[in-house]
Chain A
Amino acid sequence: MSFLSSSSAGSLDMQAKKEAVMQQVQQELALANAQELINKMNSKCYDKCIPKPGSSLSSSEEKCLSNCMERYMEAFNIVSATYVKRVSKEREAALGATTF
């Protein structure tokens, strides 16, 4: 094995490990984000749709829950878009204010 091929094999391994770590971090953060969304959705939709818990979920309660899930995710997307837009705006304004 030549000197060149052994060192490039080493850096390929390092590259692969680095990418694997990055991917793992992103996956774990995505999972935590999804869990947070689901937990909050569960809580809010239970409050909205099941005011008086019976001995099982009625079909109207299930319909309400389905709608509620969609609405909650829509609310999340609206809030997320508004927040991101606002953060960009404030950042631009701050940058603009520092130019003389």
Chain B
Amino acid sequence: MSASNVQIRPSDLDDASQRELATFLEQEQAKARLQTSTHTFTEMCWDKCVTGSIGGRFSRSEESCLVNCVDRFLDTSLFIVKKLEQQRGA
């Protein structure tokens, strides 16, 4: 059976299968959100870290810049959330 253009209605599935599908879709959506963020970070960190000419491989500093770029962005995100919570608490 080809996987394209599968037509399916909820009534085609029993309750257990519907739940299984719902869980599956949730997981795939979570994965897709991670992928989208990865694309955004790659673009952002490319701009920050790959500033010189393009070679046959990354330099050690370019590689560590990419890693730091992601970690510091997430640190920033956590910092902002924490600060806002502090301000709201005060």
Chain A residues in the interface with B (C-beta under 8 A): 11, 14-18, 20-27, 29, 32-33, 36-37, 40, 44-45, 48-49, 64, 67-68, 71-72, 74-76, 78-80, 82-84, 86-87, 90
Contacts and interface: CB of A to CB of B under 8 A. Distances in A.
Contacts, number: 110
A64 B55 CA distance: 8
Contacts of A37: 39
B3 A27 contact: yes
Given A83-B34, A83-B38, A49 B54 contact: yes
A92 B55 CA distance: 38
Contacts of B34: 83-84, 87
B66 A79 contact: yes
A71 B50 contact: yes
Interface residues of B, number: 44
Interface of B: 1-6, 8, 12-14, 17, 20-21, 24-25, 28, 31-32, 34-39, 41-43, 45-46, 49-50, 54-58, 63, 66-67, 69-71, 74, 78
